[in-house]
Each structure stands twice: as structure tokens, then as C-alpha cells.
Amino acid sequence: MEQELIKKKREIIGAFLKKGMLISSELLTDINDDEQISIISDALKSKHAEELAVIDLDLRKLIEEAKIKKEAPIQTQAPKEQKINIVHSYREEPKKRDTQDFVDYFNNRYKAVEKILKQHQELNSTISISKVLTKKDRETIPIIGIVSNKHITKNGNMLLILEDPTGQIKVLVNKNKPTLFNEAKDIVLDEVIGIVGVNVGSFIFAGSIIWPDVPASKELKKIQEEKYALFLSDLHVGSSKFLPEDFEKFLKWINGDMGSEQQRHIAKNVEYIFIAGDLVDGCGIYPDQDKELLTKDIYQQYRECAELLKQIPQHIPLVICPGNHDALRLSEPQPALSKDFAKPMYELNNAVMVSNPSLVNVHASANFSGFDVMMYHGYSFDYFVAEVDSLRSQGGYDRADLIMKFLLKRRHFAPTHLSTLYIPDRNKDPLVIEKVPDFFLSGHIHKTATASYRNTTLICGSCWQGKTIFQEKVGHNPEPSRVPIVNLKTRDIKILKFGQ
């Protein structure tokens, strides 16, 4: 029986390697140590082994041990002190896309957000748009639909066109309902919303607008011991505007060699570090970028970045997702950092590579479900700052927390078709925020912002780069060298400054 199990697991691992898929250490359970090492060794000899872009942290450690010493003990579970579980990190084989992919993608978005909306009491008895259009009598009805059009009529009212899989209908939001009308101003194309209103012919007169949103009753999780998580983003190593002196101060602090007694105490108790993309400045990201590059070779940029991150104490895991400056596709979701370009990053023993966006669970135990940390670099932020009046008037790029709240309310990282480049997935829309996180981490706009929204902690990381010519042109005002730190016992946030 054991031999059959070993044979089957060898076949599964071989198939996964050929497809470049993630291998889980769970495949190695239930068989003895000698056979585990044998299977790992066979995997390493495969011509496909180097094609793997993502290998879970446990197996990667097993592989390294097998390379160095065959008789080394095999560990099939993550070290208890790390307690990191990757809940979702996107990975899909490249393939040709066609029109049907986009159709399926938006249908999947509708279904996923519809499921969330139907958890609202007002929408648990929705009817299809086609049935609404057949009704002769006026009544108050709830519907769910994707917003396909939005404009102001000549009378100053707002007219929406909502679609579901059965048809489309016009929804009128009357200007004489100022609270509702102001809410409707924030509606963006392609988002999925609920409407409760009165039907009149081919119209619905809106009485309320319901977004999928975060449940108001969400638990605020805390732990018993004093431990900290800190959040970095936008290092931009390789840029002539990179701030090495500031980052050197951060490294001294995290190693306990700098700061007040209280600050050193915090550094000693840092349990996790999250890095939300743009580790390097990249090449050809914006016009004339080469004039502001100190290191023009992308491979060297990642080598330099790895050398910096290597100085962080090895017992602290680094959870890393990519951003738009990193060396991989711009279309979201972005897979984990490319092993072709960022190989030195994979050689960091404490690095956990995930996609953008991604969801990880940390610090779980027998008595605690752990913290869910959602990471999204924030490429869609630019679109919504430009297109949503309320975001722009309340601070725009200076208020990343409001942008993050805006996206959480819609339960989607990029609800409008034009807000980001994306890959149309036939199976699901991976940019839907299906699970509400305890922490929502972003970056991209180079200015720290923190807030709490319905017990989800919102944190936008700072940056480690001065203002570039491009940022000057587009009106970005970076605030570099800040590090948000969360006390996981109290959920209080401090921001340490390592620069001016």
C-alpha cells in the first residue's frame, strides 16, 4: 500500500513540474523520510524544476536541505514561529485569450459580487431584470446589476443602466433626494450594486443603493502577546532617487542598533514584515526613466535589493508581492516575482513570494484563527483619484485610506474596466475581494496613510525614493522613509520616520 502511495505521489509531482505548478509539502506526508528525500531529489533533477515560479515555503526549505545533505531531517510543516499560510496567490498558465474570456470574466464578477450582495437583508429576495420588465403593477422591488452606463439627464437627475444575465433596465436617481443623489455620484461603471426601488414601465425609481461592502459586525482580532507587524512598499532600488541612508537607518533599527529603548523593544518584537511591491525601479516604466537610473540592469537591481533585505534578521519572514515597476507583466493579477529576473530574492531564506493581489493568513494557532492580510500594490488608485470627484476633493493621492475604503465598499480592486490592465480569467474574477481581511495593505502612491474601516485596518506604505521628474509632472508629492507598525495585541499603529 505504501509503495502505491509513493508511486502515485511521484506521478503527481512529475505532472506538476511539467506544468510549472506549485508543489505543496502536503504531497510528502504519510511517507517516510528516506522516500521524501528521494522524491525531492528526483524533482530537482527534472528539466522542468527551474521553471517553477512559486514553490511554497515549506518545500523550498526541504529542497535546499536535500541539496546540501541527503540525510537531513525533513520538515513537512512551516516553522511554528512563522505561522504563514498563503490563502490565495494567483498563478495560471499563459494561454491565448478571446472574446469569450471577457464575457465569462464579467459573468463571473457578477456572480461573485451578487453572492455577497444577497447577504444583505434588503436583497435576499431579488428578482431578475427580465421579470421586472414584465410587471404591470407598481411595487417596491430589489434588483442586482452591473452598471453599464451613467449620466445626468437634462432635468438634473441621474440615470443608470443596470444589466444582469437576463437583460437591462434604467434606474433613475432623483436629484430631490440629496443624500441618495450624493451617494450615487460615487457609482462607477462596471461595478455591481443592488437597487431597491419602485418599478414604472422600463424604469426603476431608486429608493436606496446597496454596495457589497464590509459587514459592520466584523470582529476586531487581537492576540494576547505583544508582537508587531510592519509594512513596507516601493523601495525602488536602482533609482538615482533611492534613499540608501534612510534605508540603512531602518536596517540598523530593525537589528536593534538604533532608536530609543521603546523603539528597540518594538524592533525586537517584530514578527512579520510585508512588502507591497515596487522593490526595484525597473526599466522603461515611464518616459526618460533611464536618466534617473543609477543601476540600469534589472538583474543587478534585484541583486542589490536582495543584499539590502538580507540584512533584516532572518527569523522575521518577508511576505513580498510585486508592483508595476517590477519585472513582470503589468496586467493584474500579477503573479509572484519572476524567478528569471528576481532569482536573488528567492535565495532569501525568509522570503515568501505571493501575487498582486494576494491574501495570507498569519499567526494562527489552535486557539486563534490568525490575521488575514490582503496585499494589493494599488495600480488602479490612479484611475479612481482622477475619475471620482469625492476622492479627489477629499485629498486624492494624499488620502490612500479613502481609496482603499472605496474599493473595499465595492469588494473589488479594480471595479471599472479601464481602471487597470487585467487578465480575463474564464473561471473567476481574481480581483473580487471575496474574503474581508483584517489588514488591507497597499502602496504605489508613495505616501503613508492609515485608518480603520469596519474593523479592517487600512495601511498604505510609504516609499524609499525621492521625487522623480515624472512624479513632478503628474502632481505626486511623495513622503518617503516612513514605516507603519501595528501592535498585534492592541491593533494600535505607529509610524516611524527614518528620513526628513
* Enclosing H/E stretch for 252: helix 244-254
More confident residue, 342 or 291: 342
Amino acid at 255: N
Does the pLDDT of residue 271 top 90, yes or no? yes
Q: Is 37 left (phi over 0), alpha (psi -120 to 50) or beta?
A: alpha
Residues 343 and 361: their CA atoms lie apart, in Å, by 25
Phi and psi at residue 117, in whole multiples of 5°?
A: -60, -35
Cell numbers at 388, concatenated: 471620482
| 495 has a pLDDT exceeding 60 | yes
* Average pLDDT over every residue of 415-433: 93
Superfamily of domain 120-210: Nucleic acid-binding proteins (2.40.50.140)
pLDDT tens by residue, 308-360: 999 999 999 999 999 999 999 999 999 999 999 999 999 999 999 999 999 99
Strands annotated E in 414-480:
439-442, 449-453, 456-460
| pLDDT at 255 (0 to 100) | 97
Residue 80 has pLDDT above 50, yes or no: no
**Max Cα-Cα span within the chain:** 80
Cα(476)–Cα(454) distance, rounded to whole angstroms? 29
Q: What is the mean pLDDT of residues 147-157?
A: 96
Beta strands in 219-287 (DSSP E): 228-232, 270-276
* Nearby residues of 294 by Cβ (< 8 Å), 6 or more positions away: 238, 239, 240, 242
Q: Please state the pTM of the whole predicted model.
A: 0.81
What are the strands of the beta sheet with 439-442, ordered from one edge?
A: 84-89, 358-362, 371-375, 439-442, 456-460, 449-453
When mean pLDDT is compared across 79-93, 186-200, 217-231, 408-422, the lowest value belongs to: 79-93
State percent of the chain over pLDDT 70: 84
Nearest Cα to 90, choosing from 428, 327, 364, 414? 428
Report pLDDT for 37: 53
* pLDDT score at 215: 93
Beta bridge partners, 486, equal: 229, 493
> What are the extents of the domains in the chain?
2-77, 120-210, 228-497
Task: Evaluate if residue 6 carries a pLDDT over 80.
Answer: no
Provide Rg for the chain, Cα atoms: 25
Is 262 a residue whose pLDDT tops 70?
yes
How does 350-380 read in b/e, with b if 16+ C-beta sit within 10 Å?
Answer: bbbbbbbbbbbbbbeeeeeebbbbbbbbbbb
The answer to whether residue 1 scores a pLDDT higher than 60 is no
| Rounded Cα–Cα distance for residues 13 and 11 (Å) | 6
How does DSSP classify residue 483?
Answer: E
Please give the single-letter amino acid code of residue 161. Answer: I
How confident is the model over 24-41, as a mean pLDDT? Answer: 53
Q: Check residue 344 and report its DSSP letter.
A: H
In this model, does residue 455 exceed pLDDT 70?
yes
Mapped onto helix, strand or coil, the DSSP state of residue 303 is helix
Asked if CATH classification 3.60.21.50 holds for the domain at 228-497, the reply, yes or no, is yes
pLDDT value at 52 more than 50: no
Cell numbers linked to 467: 521625487
**Per-residue pLDDT, 141:** 95
pLDDT in tens, 219-236: 999 999 999 999 999 999
* Residue closest to 80 by CA, chosen among 363, 313, 368, 273: 363
**Residue of higher predicted confidence among 397 and 51:** 397
SS3 (DSSP) at 460: strand
Residue 246 is predicted with a pLDDT of 96
Q: Could you tell me which residue, 73 or 382, shows the higher pLDDT?
A: 382
pLDDT at 77: 35
Q: How far is CA 495 from CA 120, 462, 487, in A?
A: 36, 10, 11
pLDDT at 103 over 70: yes
How large is the average pLDDT for residues 381-391?
Answer: 95
Q: Whole-number mean pLDDT of the chain?
A: 87
pLDDT per residue over 171-221, tens digit each? Answer: 999 999 999 999 999 999 999 999 999 999 889 999 999 999 999 988 999
Judge whether residue 55 has pLDDT over 50: no
